[in-house]
Amino acid sequence: MPREFSRGRRIADLIHQELARLVQQELRDPRIGLVTINEVKVSRDLAFADVYFTLLGESNATAAEVALENAAGFMRSQLARVLSTRTTPKLRFHYDATIENGARISKAIDDALANDRKNRPGGDS
């Protein structure tokens, strides 16, 4: 028997989908740029929703986070129309740097391997 998703996970998924739509279609703040909502985690009591996002291009993460926090009230009111919960979670936005960190680590590994090959006796040059 497959394990069912918890109510919190289903609500987080719905919030994720709706926020992605709202950011793409409703928000017009130039500080936000091209935002991708990566993940939403909802607290057990459904009081808070932590929203993790990344940016495409050369956008400023801090400015985008401030702009999203400023738009949180609007997005929360739009979520209230979609969610079938007594209260709508307060939105907290966090810049997700895992992609950048992964690329940095991958580059460091590639550089180390290239350096190893170059310094190996009788190695490729």
Could you tell me which of 68, 123, 108 has the C-alpha nearest to residue 90?
A: 68
Those residues whose C-beta lies under 8 Å from the C-beta of residue 107, and which sit 6 or more positions away, are: none
Q: In 1-125, which ranges are E strands? A: 34-42, 48-56, 90-95
pLDDT one-digit tens code per residue, 31-59 = 888 899 999 999 999 999 999 999 887 77
Q: Is residue 48 part of a domain?
A: yes
- Residue-level pLDDT at 1: 43
Burial of 46 (0-12, 13-18, 19+ CB in 10 A): middle
pTM confidence score: 0.78
Side-chain-side CA neighbours of 91 within 13 Å: the count stands at: 28
Domain CATH number, residue 49? 3.30.300.20
How many structural domains does the chain have?
Answer: 1
User: Domain of 66?
Assistant: 7-97
